[in-house]
Amino acid sequence: MKTVQILGTAPNLAATLPLEDKERWGSNAVGPYVRKWRPNPELNPMLSFTRWFNMHSRRHMRSTYLDWYQWYGDQVAPKRIVLQEVQPDTPRSERFPKEDVMAYAGHAYFTFTGSWQMALAGMEGFERIEMSGFKLQRDRQYDFERPCFFYWVERLRREGVDVVLPADLEISAPGDPHRYAGPLYGYETT
């Protein structure tokens, strides 16, 4: 079964090694992964990721977490670094297929990196998506992400994808992509 683990940084992030035939996708800053696995570095998903995503602009990455941006440039094959655009100082970087993903989605309902990743996994034909490290607490920082997250979970499940969620994740209602009028995450946000 074609499987991907999409990893957030919430406390319920679980390491499930070995990967076997799975892909493992991390995202954004590397720091939370380093801190969580400092006592057991062999479990750190940074060591076994297949793709690392950052949907922010180069300017934002370099101003917000320059050390982690530089880490992207240190990665070697077969590691893949997925960014808005190929970056000359990140040899393993590749352009995120935004237009293809939006055509697959049929809308612009993307409010965080995980929504882009889930849509890409659906578009690429993954049959199982294991979500780990997602809490999406009810607070100002995450409230706008929750409906989008559950929209993608519901949509992918309707398409026949087995979407596995953390056991402690509080389920809420999915959002309506046709009512969303906010910015396109990463491309229209900082």
Average pLDDT over residues 44-64: 87
Instruction: Identify the residue with better confidence: 35 or 110.
Output: 110
pLDDT band at 29 (very low <50, low <70, confident <90, very high): confident
pLDDT band at 37 (very low <50, low <70, confident <90, very high): low
pLDDT of 116: 98
Say if residue 173's pLDDT is above 90.
Answer: no
pLDDT band at 12 (very low <50, low <70, confident <90, very high): confident
**3-state DSSP call for residue 81?**
strand
| Strands of the chain, DSSP E | 3-7, 22-27, 51-54, 80-83, 93-95, 128-132, 162-164
pLDDT band at 160 (very low <50, low <70, confident <90, very high): very high
Sheet architecture: strand order including 128-132: 93-95, 80-83, 51-54, 22-27, 3-7, 128-132, 162-164
pLDDT of 42: 61
pLDDT in tens, 63-106: 988 888 898 999 999 999 999 999 999 999 999 999 999 999 99
Neighbours of 130 (CB within 10 A): 19
Whether the model pTM is above 0.75 = yes
Say if residue 1's pLDDT is above 70.
Answer: yes
Contact 46, 33 (CB under 8 A): yes
pLDDT of 13: 72
Please state, for a pLDDT cut of 70, what percent of the chain lies above it.
Answer: 85
